[in-house]
Structure 1
Amino acid sequence: MTVIQDQARAVREEDAFDVARVDAYLKQHIAGLAGEPTLKQFPGGASNLTYLLTYANRELVLRRPPRGAKAKSAHDMLREARVMGALKPSYPYVPAILARCDDASVIGQDFYVMERLNGTILRRDLPPALGLDRDGVHRLCLGFIDRLIELHQVDITQPGLNELGKGEGYIARQVAGWSERWRQAATEGSDPCEDVLAWLDANQPGHDNASCVIHNDYRFDNVVLSPDNPLDIIGVLDWEMATIGDPLMDLGGSLAYWVQADDDPVFQSFRRQPTHEAGMLTRREVIAYYGERSGLDVSGFGFYEVFGLFRLMVIIQQIYRRFALGQTTNPQFAGFGDAARYMGKRCRRLIAAAG
């Protein structure tokens, strides 16, 4: 079967770094690297930056924060690498960490290097080459949700995982923290959304449903499908926001990206994964399936769905603020201000539907 991989491209000038310094560092920490590496950049991702280092005998993936990044918790490369290393023995879908660097003399920022998983990453549309019919798409969808449920069942008392969380009160901390981030990310013309913030504060559950490892950015474009069987997920990527928290908050965050076939045209234009395909579950069906398989009560899921969309709105606005301040010139971010305003309106519609 043909592997449908993301294609790395030439490195954007603003995201370049000294490849020779990185090469010298890696050869001190990873045995057997041959030759001088070539460097390319993966175009996906709007937060941390991801690169492909190709040696004569091996491909590696390097992750680093964007220049001008201030939100330490969202761009802490060494924490992300620690989480991945601690989780790998219990959750085999985590890529292996090969090197970590906190030496600012190398590229001026912390970074880590991991193995490259060869497989298919789904983006906006389902590649015809996968050969999936409606039933195959349905099974792919169920497997995707099952991997999230498996993550939520990992034993969090293990070394390296047990210190990630802050204990009971995760939901309350998230509502307060993301509300503050929203206010700090404001730009000229942005919607204050104080009514949305007030609703979230007033309608948050009184206690967490459970404490488990949560990914916090679980989407189809963060999983890798086997090159031999597209129904087999072999990797889960992008662990920068992983922590110990409430599993329904994780599911709500995932559903913020879940654009289905009957959504409005504006939300359809935001779609970045093939959740509209025949055979994919609707958001309501995802919630019901998760509740059935996990045993958690999902009857009052409205709060989690609104919060997931609100959190995505904050992330979009934070990125737009960096663009507005000239900290990034990536043209794909120019419309993020309008996108954040639309998300505020969508939050209000969900609030009205939730009563």
Structure 2
Amino acid sequence: MTQIDQAAAIREGEELDAPAVDRFMKQALPELTGEPEIRQYPGGASNLTYQVDYGDRSFVLRRPPMGKIARSAHDMLREARVMDALRPVYPYVPGIVAICDDHSVLGCDFYVMERLKGIILRQDFPKGFELDEGDTRKLCLNVIDKLVDLHRVDAKAAGLDTLGKGAGYVQRQIGGWSDRFRKARTEDVGDFEAVMAWLDDKMPDDIAQVVIHNDYRFDNVVLNPDNPFEVTGVLDWEMATIGDPLMDLGNSLAYWIQADDEGPFQMLRRQPTHRPGMLTRQEVVDYYMEQSGFRADNFDFYEIYGLFRLAVIIQQIYYRYYHGQTRDKRFAMFGQAANYLEKRCQRLISESAL
């Protein structure tokens, strides 16, 4: 039987104040008894996610990274409120249990949500998770379908129509991510100036204004352990907003590494999109457009944008490692990853018909 996704030991320096968590949890849910067992989910390089168990009752606590962070980043309260508003119209969102803006508890804003017990596909299929090529394709299509469903949500009915800043989303993203890269650049990483100039020159108008996830990947999707084709949850709503759906798809495809990709790109793979039966990136684009009704004559801009955005996220994390603000050895090679992504963007630009 496939193992249900579980938290593991807490990383050094990222421990929570267990008595403070216990007091908060029992204030929110007075029926809880005993002491909490707290473990940490190993994935992710941004917000910290913990499993908090009281006997057979299981919760998930989300908080920002330790240390100093930008005021506008890692907004836990916004994430929880978006989830709460979206859940009635998009039932794959976990239910919010409690929100805390009192920094005397853990020194930061955080929230607690219900834990969705299920299978999460990370770099490779977990032990016991065996699908043939046809079943893998079926799973792949079901996961894409949930992104299509999200983009069909009536934002106004959900009370989320004011979440974004209106028209000009594409322009704001290119300007914003370019600015973030320049601020986070280190001397051992390329300048991306040619890539940023191309994106600025080629950017299209928004094709629509819909609810977008902005980090939709296999490892943010929960599968039913009794029916692994069924998506029961979608996680990590930190960057959700109102924006362009093809930009959202471009973000997702930056992580979509397929079986025939070159070695350096394969080293960045963090989801099992290389498996026989998984769609190629082009097949994903074609299927998404067929199902959603959104169209672009040429997807190159969105693909290159997604890779550039991923490079900026990687570089922002590497900047912290480079300057000694984090000791996490997972980040030591992120500068090389950013350099590779610059070369990949430049190659795709040279091949583009735009």
Aligned to 1:192: 191
Per mean C-alpha deviation after superposition, the further-off stretch among 222-231 and 11-20 is: 11-20
Per mean C-alpha deviation after superposition, the further-off stretch among 7-16 and 238-247 is: 7-16
2: CA distance, partners of 1:101 / 1:257: 32
What is the deviation of 1:177? 0.4
What is the deviation of 1:334? 0.9
Aligned to 2:224: 226
What is the deviation of 1:298? 2.7
1: CA distance, partners of 2:158 / 2:219: 29
1:196-249 superposed Cα distances (whole Å, 9 cap, x missing partner): 1100000000x2000101000000010000010010000000111100000000
Q: For structure 1, which runs of at least 5 residues remain unmatched after alignment? A: none
1:142-161 superposed Cα distances (whole Å, 9 cap, x missing partner): 10110000000000102531
Q: Does 1:40 align with 2:42?
A: no
Match for 2:341: what amino acid? M
What is the deviation of 1:328? 1.7
1: CA distance, partners of 2:38 / 2:226: 27
Match for 1:217: what amino acid? D
Aligned to 2:115: 116
2: CA distance, partners of 1:318 / 1:154: 31
Aligned to 2:264: 266
Q: Alignment partner of 1:15: what SS?
A: coil
8 Å CA contact retained: 1:137, 1:278 = yes
Q: Equivalent of 1:351, from 343, 349, 352?
A: 349
Match for 1:230: what amino acid? P
Change (3 A) 1:128 1:104: closer
Aligned to 1:158: 157
1:53-83 superposed Cα distances (whole Å, 9 cap, x missing partner): 1112411110011023523443000000001
1:316-338 superposed Cα distances (whole Å, 9 cap, x missing partner): 00011111222221111111111
Q: Alignment partner of 1:138: what SS?
A: helix
Aligned to 2:12: 13
What is the deviation of 1:128? 5.7
Aligned to 1:85: 84
2: CA distance, partners of 1:253 / 1:73: 21
Per mean C-alpha deviation after superposition, the further-off stretch among 292-301 and 274-283 is: 292-301
Q: What is the correspondence of 1:332-343 to structure 2 with a 5 Å cutoff? A: 332-343=330-341
Q: Does 1:284 align with 2:282?
A: yes
Q: What is the correspondence of 1:134-173 to structure 2 with a 5 Å cutoff? A: 134-173=133-172
2: CA distance, partners of 1:19 / 1:98: 18
Match for 1:315: what amino acid? I
8 Å CA contact retained: 1:4, 1:121 = no
What is the deviation of 1:3? 4.2
2: CA distance, partners of 1:234 / 1:125: 20
Q: Alignment partner of 2:51: what SS?
A: strand
- Following TM superposition, the consecutive aligned residue runs of length 4 or more in structure 1 with deviations greater than 6 angstroms are none
8 Å CA contact retained: 1:34, 1:57 = no
TM-score (normalizing by structure 2): 0.97
Per mean C-alpha deviation after superposition, the further-off stretch among 125-134 and 264-273 is: 125-134
1:150-198 superposed Cα distances (whole Å, 9 cap, x missing partner): 0000001025312201111000000000000000111121211111110
Q: Alignment partner of 1:131: what SS?
A: coil
Q: For structure 2, which runs of at least 5 residues remain unmatched after alignment? A: none
What is the deviation of 1:294? 0.9
Aligned to 1:302: 300
Aligned to 2:253: 255
Change (3 A) 1:336 1:114: same
Q: What is the correspondence of 1:18-97 to structure 2 with a 5 Å cutoff? A: 18-97=17-96
Change (3 A) 1:73 1:3: farther
Aligned to 1:216: 214
**Pairwise CA RMSD:** 1.2
Aligned to 2:313: 315
Q: Alignment partner of 1:232: what SS?
A: strand
The count of corresponding residues between Structure 1 and Structure 2 is 353
8 Å CA contact retained: 2:48, 2:62 = yes
Q: Alignment partner of 1:137: what SS?
A: helix
What is the deviation of 1:4? 2.3
TM-score (normalizing by structure 1): 0.97
Identity of aligned residues (%): 60
Match for 1:115: what amino acid? E
8 Å CA contact retained: 2:251, 2:305 = yes
8 Å CA contact retained: 1:212, 1:245 = yes
